[in-house]
Amino acid sequence: AQKITQTQPGMFVQEKEAVTLDCTYDTSDQSYGLFWYKQPSSGEMIFLIYQGSYDEQNATEGRYSLNFQKARKSANLVISASQLGDSAMYFCAMREESNDYKLSFGAGTTVTVRA
């Protein structure tokens, strides 16, 4: 079974607008970690933001915030005030003890920011 589902293969967003990238996950662990990574066209994997399953507050890092809805098992990434440099592929990932803390990735969402 797929552990991480990203249902949006591609999205377009206007510069300066906000965009939400969907991520749902599947785990029966109580303790797990959720991560978002950015992969620009240059190919590197850049860590953006982390949310722990026990964290009560939604994580924020600059223009990135994570909309964590534990009961729905969703961890959507919100990018505010989009910039041209945000055009990239975004991956949601999860670490869980029952999976030996391996990082399981979703299929990714490609974001294209339009001027």
Q: Tell me which residues touch other proteins (CB under 8 A).
A: 29, 31-33, 35, 37, 39, 43-47, 50, 52-53, 89, 91, 95-97, 100-103, 105, 107-108
For residue 41, the minimal CB distance to other proteins (Å) is 12
CB atoms within 10 A of CB 67: 16
Identity of the residue, 41 or 115, whose beta carbon is nearer to other proteins in the bound complex: 41
List the one residue out of 5, 50, 2 whose CA is nearest residue 24. Answer: 5
Nearer to other proteins, 37 or 82 (CB): 37
Rounded to a whole number of angstroms, the minimum distance from the CB of residue 113 to other proteins is 19
Q: Write down the least CB distance from residue 9 to other proteins, Å.
A: 10
CA angle, residues 5, 65, 99, in degrees to nearest 5:
40
Cβ burial 39-63 (10 Å sphere, 16+ → b, else e): eeeeeeeeebbebebeeeeebeeee
Nearer to other proteins (CB atom), residue 2 or residue 14: 2
